[in-house]
Structure 1
Amino acid sequence: MLTILKRHSLMKQLVVFTRMLSSVKTMERKVVDIITAPQQYEGGGFLVRRPIGGKLPQVDPFVLLDHFGPAVFKPGEAIGAPDHPHRGFETVSYIIEGSMQHKDSLGNKGNLKSGWVQWMTAGSGVVHSEMPSDDIMKNGGKLEGFQLWVNLPAKDKMIAPRYQDTPNEKIPVATTPDGKVKVKIIAGKSLGAEAVIETRTPIMYLDIRLQPGARFTQDVPESYNGFVYVWKGAGYLGNDEKTANMGQVGILTSGSVFTVKAADFADCHVILAAGVPLKEPVVQHGPFVMNTETEIQQAMKDYRSGKLGSIPGSEERFAQTEAAKQKQHISGT
């Protein structure tokens, strides 16, 4: 009888211990506040929302997130970002709708279409141009997308530049069994699918789209810092379901899973970005992100002296940008 009681007691302890482990393993992340992203002009004069890098500071390893559009341009009105330098970090351009063309001082060029991602490791430095496509300039059209800046660790800041231009059809999209949630996996993993884009450090970058009333929980490694940005619709963030609308962002607390729920009356599209923090000093001056002020000064000196190179046709791109700005003003947009 005593043995049976002991076994029963041990079983109860084991059940309690298992529940404790389960609760630790699935500790829910919440969001710290809900902040509306400020709007400002960037590049040649296009309007962006800046969820990260503005009112909310950097979220290590992420330096900045800009959401451009949605904007509908008439012929000749679209504005891009003519020739500008980068050093010390990575830019991730993700086109939701429309198309843009890029060129750089290393001779790389191409068109980014709807759904495409360009992961550019600037490293030691390039001069880069991001302009509306010829089609949008000629015919007008809608343009919307994101640019995320991912910091590089000190050991990688001066590596050779590299591009990963990935077309829409090569980027994995996973769907929940009920079909109510789709996840586009730019970096990291979700729903058993894994990104094709390589990253310098462990990073998660997901575009999660929920139908009205749908709920989705994503594993997020405990070592990651992160944020969630609502770029369309409305929903509830975290297990405490803080209300968030289009253009609002929240920083993730610690934990191992994060839950988002769409409002009953609307879709909810969110960007979930998380990664291992570098925990290094960050000194930023415009398009340069380094570890010390001395390195920033050197980057500026190298750019001014022409060491980062140049792109043929820069005068035409700046003239195109000025003409588009004047056309917008004349047409009252």
Structure 2
Amino acid sequence: MPAITVDDLTLLPRLHTPGLGDVVRPVSSVTSAPSGYEGEGFPVRRAFAGVDLRDLDPFIHMDQMGEVEYAPGEPKGTPWHPHRGFETVTYIIDGVFDHQDSHGGGGSITNGDTQWMTAGSGLLHIETPPEWLVQKGGLFHGIQLWVNLPRDQKLVAPRYQDLRAGQLGLLTTDDAGVLVRVIAGDVAGHQGPGSTHTPMAMVHATLAPGSRLELPWSVDFNALVYVLSGNGAVGVEQHPISTGQLAVLGRGDFVSVTSSKHQESRAPGLDVLVLGGRPIREQIAWAGPFVMNTRAEVMQAYEDYQKGRMGQIPAVHGAPTELTEG
């Protein structure tokens, strides 16, 4: 699992540990992500399936894409499709994804990079593996997170942030047993590069076997821990958790995660995403690629999409041009 790594963690800034009066967040629930397929047929785990949206707020949806080792000719992406009313955060751990949109934007992200797209008022976009990767095959693993936008920002102009692996905030624990990558938000005074409309934080942590992460967390944020690979325990109760499971945590000052001393052979440590944000607490009307506040707004989004108001597919030689609604 490349993402971004550091040879000597002792050189990184250290997180402080819980002090007198600090509260380690308890576990409210643990769920297991069902498997499915997205886009043209690449495998995903539906990380938030079965969890009440009120516990996820300000997040809407998250897929773990892969981890899959493609044979030559197998890599898949998505056809052209629209979005409105939220942000997509695509974090690539292994592999390469190319992006293109109806506003002329585009780019390529690879190990440890993040493409943060504010769909806002609406656009069309496509995400595909590059042609050389389709021909060669290889490992692919990533995350796509949907972050809701508040009512007064649903129709902001679309924008993009290409966050490169080298820009991430890098921290470690007091014993230098955990690599903490801050993708967005403020963690213990260390800022990630992602700029967010909704106050939130996003962290990817790699824990060595037997190590513990005690992560300071804003008291007005919710807190979610999703296991990318490996096994361990979470919360003040040290509730067991393993690959593909999501823990929703209660209130407190710290998120606590412990890595088991013995890990499965393909996962030398425990890799987790820690997510949280300030809940928006607004009505949600969600249908396919549109996340709005009312049914009428969703219907308007479909009409705008069907009438071409979210843009046109650029004429690019060899690019797929089929429109979909997912």
Normalising by the smaller structure, the TM-score range is 0.7 to 0.9
Residue of structure 1 aligned with 2:110, choices 100, 104, 113: 113
Q: Judge conservation of contact 2:186–2:201 (CA < 8 Å) in 1.
A: yes
Deviations 1:112-169 (A, max 9, x none): 1111001111000010100012231121111000000000000000000000011111
Equivalence for 1:186: 183
Q: Judge conservation of contact 1:152–1:200 (CA < 8 Å) in 2.
A: yes
* Letter in structure 2 aligned against 1:264: K
- The TM-score normalised by the length of structure 2 is 0.87
Is 1:55 equivalent to 2:50 in the alignment?
yes
Q: Judge conservation of contact 1:91–1:119 (CA < 8 Å) in 2.
A: yes
Q: CA deviation at 1:190?
A: 3.1
Equivalence for 2:39: 43
Equivalent runs, 1:208-223 vs 2, <5 Å = 208-223=205-220
Q: CA deviation at 1:221?
A: 1.5
Over the aligned positions, Cα root-mean-square deviation in angstroms equals 1.8
Equivalence for 2:13: none
- Separation in 2, partners of 1:22, 1:281: 38
Equivalence for 2:280: 278
Is 1:289 equivalent to 2:291 in the alignment?
yes
Equivalence for 2:5: none
- Separation in 2, partners of 1:142, 1:193: 31
Is 1:28 equivalent to 2:30 in the alignment?
no
Q: CA deviation at 1:74?
A: 1.6
Equivalence for 1:17: none
- Separation in 2, partners of 1:306, 1:61: 29
- Separation in 2, partners of 1:314, 1:157: 29
Q: CA deviation at 1:191?
A: 5.2
Identity of aligned residues (%): 39
Q: Judge conservation of contact 1:73–1:142 (CA < 8 Å) in 2.
A: yes
- Separation in 2, partners of 1:100, 1:45: 15
Deviations 1:207-254 (A, max 9, x none): 011000001111112211221101110010001100011011111111
Equivalent runs, 1:124-163 vs 2, <5 Å = 124-163=121-160
Q: Judge conservation of contact 1:82–1:317 (CA < 8 Å) in 2.
A: no
Q: Judge conservation of contact 1:72–1:143 (CA < 8 Å) in 2.
A: yes
Q: Which moved more, 1:111-120 or 1:168-177?
A: 168-177
- Separation in 1, partners of 2:255, 2:177: 17
Q: CA deviation at 1:179?
A: 2.2
Residue of structure 2 aligned with 1:299, choices 301, 311, 314: 301
Q: CA deviation at 1:263?
A: 0.4
* Letter in structure 2 aligned against 1:245: S
Equivalence for 1:4: none
Q: Judge conservation of contact 1:38–1:55 (CA < 8 Å) in 2.
A: no
- Separation in 2, partners of 1:301, 1:179: 53
- Separation in 1, partners of 2:206, 2:188: 13
- Separation in 1, partners of 2:297, 2:171: 42
- Separation in 2, partners of 1:292, 1:277: 18
- Separation in 2, partners of 1:316, 1:31: 49
Q: Which moved more, 1:229-238 or 1:69-78?
A: 69-78
Aligned residues: 297
Change (3 A) 1:311 1:268: same
- Separation in 2, partners of 1:239, 1:293: 40
Q: Which moved more, 1:311-320 or 1:41-50?
A: 311-320
- Separation in 2, partners of 1:309, 1:46: 26
Unmatched 5+ stretches in structure 2:
1-18, 264-268
- Separation in 2, partners of 1:319, 1:151: 27
Q: CA deviation at 1:178?
A: 2.7
Q: Which moved more, 1:282-291 or 1:31-40?
A: 31-40
Equivalence for 1:243: 240
Q: Judge conservation of contact 1:120–1:163 (CA < 8 Å) in 2.
A: yes
- Separation in 1, partners of 2:251, 2:128: 39
Q: CA deviation at 1:314?
A: 8.0
Unmatched 5+ stretches in structure 1:
1-20, 321-333
Deviations 1:263-298 (A, max 9, x none): 011211110100000000011001100000000000
Change (3 A) 1:60 1:107: same
Q: CA deviation at 1:99?
A: 0.2
- Separation in 1, partners of 2:320, 2:255: 43
